Amino acid sequence: MDSYKSLSILFIAIISMLTSCKNEASIDESDASEVITAHLESNPEFKTTTFKFGELKFHSRKDRVDLKKYEELADKGLILMELDEQKKVFLSKDSTYVYQVTLKENAAPLVIEQSNDRATVKAVNYILDDDKPVNFEQTNDKTAKATVSLKIEPTDFYPFLNKESNSDFITKTYKLKLKKDKGWEVE
């Protein structure tokens, strides 16, 4: 009976050693994707643009497109537009409108920096494209490189972006490092 008991204890010890000795230094596509997604949640990738506010003058013909962009933001509750002055140009079909444009509280999550009449705002957020594979190369036991495709997620300020991108994604390479107490993370 004692040999059966000691054999079963030895068997349990061997099984627990094998299960506890899982190789944490290895990483696969799924693990790399999870690490990068967690990194993007705490350190988002985005593209910014400049947004003008305060007293703004629009001509009904020349600035029609810009006025429409501001009106769409007002409809979404991100800005407040108050008409200060409206002038009809004599013998012309063109009119001039002067608005007082104010950023509202709802725009705060998209505002990075702000001055008296300008704000740097997020125009595009980049998120991990789950449809594209994560290409990674494990350089050694504790480091790896992962190249991912990040797709564009436009914000409400996207129409104010001066130069639109020629693609709807970017490719970015992240360096991953194995930390003893935390596991894999972006360096």
CA-based nearest residue to 24, from 139, 187, 181: 181
Q: What is the pLDDT of residue 21?
A: 40
What is the identity of the amino acid at 125?
N
Contact residues for 154 (Cβ-Cβ < 8 A; gap 6+): 123, 124
- Which of 13-17, 69-73, 89-93, 171-175 is predicted least confidently? 13-17
Please report the beta strands in 29-110, taking only residues with DSSP state E, as ranges in sequence order: 45-52, 54-59, 79-88, 95-103
Q: What is the pLDDT of residue 175?
A: 92
Instruction: Kindly report the pTM of this predicted structure.
Output: 0.75
C-alpha dihedral, 165 to 171 to 173 to 178, nearest 10°: 120
Q: What is the pLDDT of residue 19?
A: 41
pLDDT at 17 over 60: no
DSSP state, 156?
Answer: T
DSSP state, 61?
Answer: T
For 170-184, the pLDDT digits (tens) are: 899 999 898 888 888
